[in-house]
């Protein structure tokens, strides 16, 4: 039994939906960053699945997915640095309690 393209697309849609729910409903900045990572991983699954099933002789989807992983790692590093800086200023990472950024 082989797993086809619709199974991968369903998995990616489920992961993207969970990430979107997390971004819109969570109050913690760290949870929002984790939800954004879920959404990025869903896009990576789509890239690899389409590349595998539509053009198996080329590896364009895998190359784009690797590029996105590098960009996501840099994004998380920067995002966590911002969360730490935010915590040092406001003593909270709850997004609802932060109403103003001071210079």
* Span 29-78, pLDDT tens digits: 889 889 999 999 999 999 999 999 988 888 888 898 899 889 988 988 99
CATH number of the domain that residue 49 is part of: 1.10.287.3510
Is residue 103 domain-resident? no
What is the value of pTM for the model shown?
0.81
Is residue 47 domain-resident? yes
Is residue 102 domain-resident? no
**What's the structural domain count of the chain?**
1
The reported pLDDT for the residue numbered 102 is: 59
Is residue 75 domain-resident? yes
Is residue 12 domain-resident? yes
Distance of CA 65 to the CA centre of its chain: 12
Shortest CA distance to 41 belongs to which of 10, 62, 72?
72
Quote the mean pLDDT of the chain: 88
């Amino acid at each position: 039994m082989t797993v086809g393209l619709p199974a991968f697309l369903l998995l990616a849609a489920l992961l993207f939906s969970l990430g979107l729910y997390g971004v819109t409903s969570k109050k913690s900045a760290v949870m929002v960053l984790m939800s954004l990572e879920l959404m990025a991983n869903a896009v990576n699954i789509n890239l690899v699945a389409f590349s595998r099933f539509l053009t198996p002789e080329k590896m364009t989807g895998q190359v784009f997915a690797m590029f996105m992983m590098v960009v996501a790692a840099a994004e998380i590093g920067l995002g966590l640095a911002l969360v730490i800086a935010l915590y040092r200023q406001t003593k909270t990472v709850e997004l609802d309690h932060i109403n103003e950024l001071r210079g």
